[in-house]
Amino acid sequence: MTIVTRTATAILGVCAIASLAACGSDDATTATPSTVTVTASSPSTTTSVDAPETDVADTAQSGSGSDGGSGGDVAAPAPTSNRAPLRLCGTTNPAPAELDRAIASVPTDGPGYRWVTGAANFDSCNDISYMELDTQGATVSSPQQLLIFNRDMRFIGTGIKCNVGYQEVIGASRDRITVRYRYLTGDEPLAAPQGSTQVTFRWNGSRVVMDGSLPRAVTNGKC
């Protein structure tokens, strides 16, 4: 009995010393906990304290991110475009009021004349479009005119300033209109003029210009 009592007393003393060592000053640097093993004489007793485990990989991943914040993938911003919206265009007629205004702005050759609309190529994809004006009840030699519109279907003027006969549009594209004018050269029949010339009305980016020239026989000196 005496031996057992002394052994127990020794064990209690050692545990007390270990407890005091663990409860040191708070200002001291805390060492990494280790396993403490105390062995006494028979009957022997072993006490173990395990150090906490740390996963280095988890620590490194938890602090990932370019801003030092929490980890995780950050979605890239959606791409933006500075491209201008596409212009929708196609065959579009001028507003009725705009067409009436255009026709009314062109004087006829006398009170007995009246304009009627002829061929046209209205297209808002074009820089310029045209419409022909014919004299109502006229013959091939009667006065005609050419109305020109921009891509917004606004009337911007006539091909030439005066009304002439024998006018025929022979070609048109996005930015130009080609017109052939025939004229009398002698005593040929009015229905079969022998003279012919052509000019092109072209959009130069800001206005319509005429490429080519017309002989006096076409305009009769009126323009």
User: Which pLDDT tens digit goes with each residue over 53-104?
Assistant: 434 344 334 444 444 444 555 566 555 556 655 557 887 899 999 999 999 9
Q: What is the mean pLDDT of the chain?
A: 76
> What percentage of the chain carries pLDDT values higher than 70?
61
Per-position DSSP letters for the chain, written without gaps between them: -HHHHHHHHHHHHHHHHHHHHHT--TTSPPPPP-------SSSP-----PPPP--HHHHHHHT-STTSS--S--PPPPP---PPPPPP----PPPHHHHHHHHHTS--SSTT--EEEEEE---TTSSEEEEEEEETT--TTS-EEEEEEETT--EEEESSSS-BSSEEEEEE-SSEEEEEEEE--SS--TTS--EEEEEEEEE-SSSEEEES---HHHHTT--
For residue 26, pLDDT over 50 is answered with: no
pLDDT of residue 140: 87
Structure tokens at 212: 């080519």
Average pLDDT over residues 124-137: 97
Average pLDDT over residues 204-213: 97
Average pLDDT over residues 208-215: 97
Average pLDDT over residues 12-38: 41
For residue 15, pLDDT over 50 is answered with: no
Average pLDDT over residues 44-50: 43
d(CA 142, CA 140): 6
